[in-house]
A and B are shown apart, each in its own frame.
Chain A
Amino acid sequence: MTADIEIRNVNKHFGAMAVLEDLSLSIKAREFIVFLGPSGCGKSTLLRMIAGLETVDSGEIAINNERIDHLPPGKRGVAMVFQSYALYPHMTVRDNLAFGLENIGMSREVIDARINEAARILEMPHLLERKPGQLSGGQRQRVAIGRAIVKEPKAFLFDEPLSNLDAALRTRTRLELAQLHQRLQSTMIFVTHDQVEAMTLADRIVVMNNRRIEQIGSPMEIYERPATKFVAGFVGAPAMNFVEATLDRSAENAAARFADGVSVQTEIVSNQLSDCKHTFGIRSEDVRIVAAGQGNADGVVEVLERLGERTLVYARLGDGQQIVGSDAGNSRIAVGHKVGLAFDGQKSHLFDESGRAWHAREA
């Protein structure tokens, strides 16, 4: 089973405080969609509204063209995996999985068949007679997913389900979730504030900030062509470099000029840009470290982060701004060295005062 989900002009307030404002979104059947954003941006509230755990103040939510925002949670045909797993502690794993099916009057044979199938998929038949207190965090996670699977829902909702796992287990579970999606071909909505989870799992990412959607797009769209300065800064580690700049729009493509006179020729068409102040943005991997005097600007190395396959170089420019560049993994640069920074104009971005982004023409 799978589902198209339509969210139309949804608003939500908690008392006087607006949590979501006029939010609309279409989710296609079989899509793995991730709501990504900082704490308090409204992503979990939106998920809970789809689940029926929060009411909708105004607007509509429909699954397969049928309005569901007035239905109780159990009647919406969705299953949710909670951050805390929310397993019933006094019931065995088998009873946890069976509870929802018993509530709709399903026969014992069908319940057993579904439980056995879910246990097989999640490789946990040996856990069925244990109670949640006897399971590790990862095993509880599996049971929580199993409880969702047995219901054969139209859509799976995940509310930061990996945040309680340690780093190694989180990576493994992430991979398993991706495989599960391929196997079940169900619509899945996943809430996280972790951009790595979003980038690795999503067909499309919905970046949310401050009660509204900033951008919807594939992971690489979001990364390479962020719609706003917020998205550019939120997605990617380390965060994108931002430098205040004035524009030279005399040529076909604009050039960005920093306060200390450094100039970077971009490939962003001049005539679409306004006269207002802009911010120049570029990712660390698009700033190459070269010999001093050989790049667009020179800087003094303050910090080195050796990641193995590359080295992140934090350099201070003459005007006091810090830029993060990228060098080879076995870089011989040391803290205190003066280095040159070569900006890739094709990969640079400009952001106007409203935060809107401008990019080079797509190749």
Chain B
Amino acid sequence: MSAPAVSIKGRAFGDHLLLALVILLSIVMIAPVLWVIGLSLKDNAELMADPNSVFHAPYTLKNYINTVGTSSVFIWVRNSIIVSGGLTLGTLILSSLAGYGFARLNFPGRDVLFVIVLFGLAVPEQAVLVARHQIFSVLKFHNTYQGLILPGLSAPFGVFLMTQYFKAIPKELDEAAMLDNAGRFRIFWKVLLPLTLPAQATLGIFTFLGAWNDYFWPLISATKKDMFTLTVGMASTQTNFAQSEGIGFLMAQAVFAGAPILIFYLFFQKYIVTAVSGAAVK
């Protein structure tokens, strides 16, 4: 009888150790966020005099009022939402259609084309940068939303993911729908696409987060301040840090910048965890 008791005790200790570790890691993750929020609530002059003043009153909303009133951060957030949202929507539509085509349609050169698409995974963005920049210059796409969205729509990973997912759906469902008098697009739209929701969620989350955090292409394509995405805009204020309006104001902008992604996370928490863990959503 004693052996199981020891085992249960041992397991309880392990659980406690794990919990302590999780709490520690959470603190490491959350502390900088709280630090940023704390700094954003302090008067700039006070912070300049004493950085440790963040730990005690008085606190002020002045930085947020200034941000709302004068900063470009709203424009950058709007740009990021448009670019990330547009890119996510476009990627989901194109990857789903392409995945369905590769998984279900028989057409000449299908397998070769699929391999060519997969080759796209091996081509780094930097390798095509100059050519893309030239093409977009000719098309006058720089400093436009299409200029920021279009490059991301070639999504070999998305096509691969959706192809594999469509392949995993039993073909009997297509056949049952054919016997139910459904045309090809109706089968795609009403029968198969709803079954790919877990893959859509995974792809959508990765695409949105990737687009939101992207810095490289927007830095090159968006040169006008009102076309900056959030990452580029925030970096531009840090470049002028010495002359900036102060660290409190900068931190208030950062909080504003982080808010949409935080809201996104709160809404899609379940799917994000699932996507990252690689498991299917039930």
Tell me the A residues contacting B by CB distance below 8 Å: 51-53, 72-75, 78-80, 82, 84, 86-90, 99-100, 103-104, 147, 151
Interface-lining segment among B176-184, B239-247, B254-262: B176-184
List 26 A-B pairs, Cβ < 8 Å. Answer: A51-B175, A51-B179, A52-B178, A53-B178, A73-B175, A73-B178, A73-B179, A74-B182, A75-B181, A80-B175, A82-B172, A82-B176, A84-B170, A84-B172, A86-B172, A87-B176, A88-B173, A88-B177, A88-B191, A90-B195, A99-B177, A99-B180, A99-B182, A100-B179, A100-B181, A103-B181
Distance between B270 CB and nearest chain A CB, rounded to angstroms: 18
Is B194's CB within 8 Å of the partner chain A?
yes
Closest 4 interchain pairs by CB? A74-B181, A100-B180, A86-B172, A86-B176
Report the bound CA distance from A87 to B191 in whole Å. 10
Least CB distance from B193 to A in Å reads: 10
B191 / chain A contacts, CB cutoff of 8 Å = 88
Question: Are B175 and A86 in contact, with the CB atoms below 8 A?
Answer: yes
Which residue of chain A has the shortest Cβ distance to B175 in the bound complex?
Answer: A53
Chain A residues with Cβ under 8 A from B175's Cβ?
Answer: 51, 53, 73, 80, 82, 86
Could you tell me if B179 and A79 are in contact, using CB atoms closer than 8 angstroms? yes
Q: Mark B147-180, 1 if CB is under 8 A from A, else 0.
A: 0000000000000000000000010110111111
Please, how many angstroms separate the alpha-carbon atoms of A100 and B177 in the complex?
A: 7
Q: Count the A-B residue pairs with Cβ separation under 8 angstroms: how many? A: 56
Determine if A80 and B182 form an interchain contact, defined as CB atoms under 8 angstroms apart: no
Total number of B residues with any Cβ neighbor in A under 8 Å:
16
Given contacts A82-B172, A89-B195, contact A72 B182 (CB under 8 A): no
**A84-B170, A84-B172 given; A104·B181 CB < 8 A:** yes
Which single residue of chain B is at the shortest CB-CB distance from A88? B191
**Are A103 and B182 closer than 8 Å at their CB atoms?**
yes
Q: Is the CB of A72 within 8 A of B180?
A: no
List of B residues within 8 angstroms of A74 by Cβ: 178-182
B186: interface (CB < 8 Å)? yes
Give A51's nearest chain B residue, CB to CB.
Answer: B179
Tell which of B170, B173, B179, B186 touches A78, judged by Cβ atoms closer than 8 Å.
B179
B residues in contact with A87, CB < 8 Å: 176
Q: How far is the CB of A173 from chain B (nearest CB, A)?
A: 19
CA distance A90 to B281 in the complex (A): 13
- Which A residues are in CB contact (< 8 Å) with B172? 82, 84, 86
> Please, how many angstroms separate the alpha-carbon atoms of A89 and B190 in the complex?
11
- Starting from the known contacts A73-B175, A75-B181, 14 additional A-B residue pairs (CB-CB under 8 Å) come to A51-B175, A53-B175, A72-B178, A74-B179, A74-B181, A79-B179, A80-B175, A84-B170, A86-B173, A88-B176, A90-B195, A99-B182, A100-B179, A103-B180
The interface residues of chain B lying within 8 Å CB-to-CB of A73 are: 175, 178-179
User: Measured between C-beta atoms, what is the minimum distance from B186 to chain A in Å?
Assistant: 7
- Give per-residue flags for B187-201: 1 if the beta carbon is below 8 A from chain A beta carbons, else 0: 000110011000000
A42–B195 CA distance with the chains assembled, in angstroms:
31
- CB-CB under 8 A from A80, the residues of chain B are 175-176, 179
Distance to closest chain A CB from B184 (angstroms)? 10
CA A33 to CA B248, docked complex, whole Å: 83
Residue of A whose beta carbon sits closest to that of B193: A90
Q: How far is the CA of A78 from the CA of B181 in the complex (A)?
A: 11
Contact for B170 among A53, A86, A103, A104, CB less than 8 A: A86
B residues within 8 A CB of A88? 173, 176-177, 191
Q: Among the interface residues A53, A78, A104, which one has the most CB atoms of the partner chain B within 10 A?
A: A53
Q: Which A residue sits closest to B173, measured CB to CB? A: A86
A90 to B178: give the CA distance in the assembly, Å: 17
Docked Cα-Cα span, A53 to B180, in Å, equals 12
Q: Which residues of B have CB within 8 Å of A75?
A: 181
Chain A residues with CB under 8 A of B186: 103
Assembled-state Cα–Cα distance A72/B186 (Å): 15
For A82, A104, A147, A151, the residue with the greatest tally of chain B CB atoms inside 10 Å of its CB is A82
CA distance A214 to B131 in the complex (A): 67
Q: Which residues of B are found within 8 Å of A51, using beta-carbon distances?
A: 175, 179
Contacts of B190 in A (CB 8 A): 99
Q: Specify which chain B residues have a CB less than 8 angstroms from the CB of A86 in the assembled complex.
A: 170, 172-173, 175-176
Which residues of chain B (241-279) have a CB below 8 Å from chain A?
none
Q: CA–CA, A299 to B179, complex, Å?
A: 57
Closest to B197 in A: A90
Residues from chain A with Cβ under 8 Å of B179 in the complex: 51-53, 73-74, 78-80, 100
**How far apart sit A82 and B180, CA to CA, in the bound complex (Å)?**
13
User: Across the two chains, which residue of chain B brings its CB closest to A104?
Assistant: B181
Considering the chains assembled together, what is the distance between the CA atoms of A103 and B185 in angstroms?
12
Query: In the bound complex, what is the Cα–Cα distance between A79 and B172 (angstroms)?
Result: 13
Instruction: Name the one of B177, B181, B182, B194 contacting A90, with C-beta atoms under 8 angstroms.
Output: B194
Q: How far is the CB of B265 from chain A (nearest CB, A)?
A: 26
CA distance A151 to B181 in the complex (A): 11
Chain B residues with CB under 8 Å of A103's CB are 180-182, 186
Closest chain A residue to B176, Cβ basis: A86
CB distance from A170 to the nearest CB of B (A): 20
Q: How far is the CB of B179 from chain A (nearest CB, A)?
A: 5
CB distance from A348 to the nearest CB of B (A): 45
Report the Cα distance A50→B6, complex, angstroms.
67
Residues of B within 8 A of A90 (CB): 194-195
Complex CA distance for A282 and B191, rounded to whole angstroms: 53
Question: Chain A's nearest CB lies how many Å from the CB of B280?
Answer: 13
